[in-house]
Amino acid sequence: MSRILHAKIAPFKTEFLDVGDGHKLYIEQAGNEKGIPVIYLHGGPGGGSSENHRRYFDPEKYHYISFDQRGCGRSIPTSALTGNNTDNLVDDIERIRNHLNISQWLMVGGSWGTTLALLYGIRYPQCVLAFILRGVFLATSKEYDWLYRPQGAQAFFPDYYQEFLEPLDNKDRTDPIKGYGKIFNSGNELAISAACKAWYLWELRLSSIEHSHVGLSQVEDFHQACCMAKISHHFFNHKSFITDNYILENINKITNIPAIVIHGRYDMVCQVQCAFELVENWKNASLQILPQAGHSGFETQTIDAMCKAADVMADFLRDS
């Protein structure tokens, strides 16, 4: 029997944490304050957290924590790039752990959130109970090329890719990340607005095989589109501020920690081969490939897998 999301719950506490560089992070806690601490890391970069992320977890079993990463969601200032890099995001997670006086926690993330979870674990393995990772992104050159250069995901979505390229001059279309950077730094607000929407729409269209009717109405929230476009471009233009293949080269630091890895067979944002390669190098990780799922965290099979993984992990952690 397929699982559905747990009932909606409200946070029992929300606050802002000053982490320096002018950034204040929005943090929320929900569920059972005496339960298993779990931090959920949202995607993007720049995606922001969702109230539905709380609903993967049984509120009786889990002390749920999430935050909006620098510059996105309810964190302030919006779309700020100063001090917004991977090292600082990993340090922000550790600041939150210390701020909440948590000794160890379960790391859960989707997409870019898996990248941060893995990088945090590599830096602070002693603080991690276990991992649940959905839609693995290892932040490698081949993944950027798949998403943004010709002959990647473009081969499956040529019509949508053409719309993704429309804001760019012809000479910039072989290197869209560079081309979009020119627009974002141009000072032309109309061009920036159009580029943000086109960037965001491209990823949305790739994200789900169940919810295929994605159009401009989904990107009219300019705050969301701007955060996703500007921040993800900023990170990807800098190769996520890590060396290529950094995660796999350092995976030995966390292979003794248990992990459940979940990935849609038809994920067109993050390719399943990356999840497969990760688990091949991780003795305590298991991979569940969902046969009829894409990248979205809220498709039927993905919801089922995430809720079940959270239940399995709760039983494991309580017994260990």
- Whether the pLDDT of residue 14 is over 90: the answer is yes
Residue 69 lies in a domain: yes
Same domain (yes/no): 183, 158: yes
Q: What is the pLDDT of residue 218?
A: 62
Give the pLDDT band of residue 1 (cuts 50, 70, 90): low
**pLDDT tens by residue, 232-268:** 999 999 999 999 999 999 999 999 999 999 999 999 9
- Annotated catalytic, 267? yes
Same domain (yes/no): 20, 119: yes
Q: What is the pLDDT of residue 212?
A: 64
Cα separations (Å) of 60 from 17, 37, 63, 295, 312?
26, 12, 8, 28, 14
- Annotated catalytic, 49? no
Q: What is the pLDDT of residue 151?
A: 87
Q: What is the pLDDT of residue 319?
A: 84
Residue 203 lies in a domain: yes
Higher confidence at residue 157 or residue 216? Answer: 157
Give the pLDDT band of residue 2 (cuts 50, 70, 90): confident
Q: What is the pLDDT of residue 213?
A: 60
Which one from 111, 208, 232, 240 is the annotated catalytic residue?
Answer: 111
Total of domains in the chain: 2
Same domain (yes/no): 129, 248: yes
Same domain (yes/no): 21, 170: no
Which one from 68, 92, 267, 304 is the annotated catalytic residue?
Answer: 267
Residue 208 lies in a domain: yes
Alpha carbon dihedral 209, 50, 139, 130, in 10-degree steps, equals -110
Residue 158 lies in a domain: yes
Residue 107 lies in a domain: yes
Same domain (yes/no): 124, 215: no
Same domain (yes/no): 27, 110: yes
Q: What is the pLDDT of residue 217?
A: 61
Same domain (yes/no): 38, 130: yes
pTM of the prediction?
Answer: 0.96
Q: What is the mean pLDDT of the chain?
A: 96
Q: What is the pLDDT of residue 69?
A: 98
The CATH number covering residue 276 comes to 3.40.50.1820
Q: What is the pLDDT of residue 214?
A: 57
Last residue of a domain, one of 210, 238, 266: 238
What is the average pLDDT across 167-187? 96
Which domain, by its residues, includes 21?
13-140+241-319
What is the average pLDDT across 57-61? 98
Last residue of a domain, one of 238, 257, 291: 238
Same domain (yes/no): 186, 230: yes
Parallel, antiparallel or unpaired: strands 62-67 and 23-31 = antiparallel
Same domain (yes/no): 119, 254: yes
- Annotated catalytic, 2? no
Which one from 75, 295, 296, 304 is the annotated catalytic residue?
Answer: 295
Q: What is the pLDDT of residue 215?
A: 55
Same domain (yes/no): 56, 130: yes
Residue 152 lies in a domain: yes
- Whether the pLDDT of residue 216 is over 60: the answer is no
Residue 5 lies in a domain: no
CB 222 within 8 A of CB 230: no
| Cα–Cα distance, 150 to 21 (Å, whole number) | 36
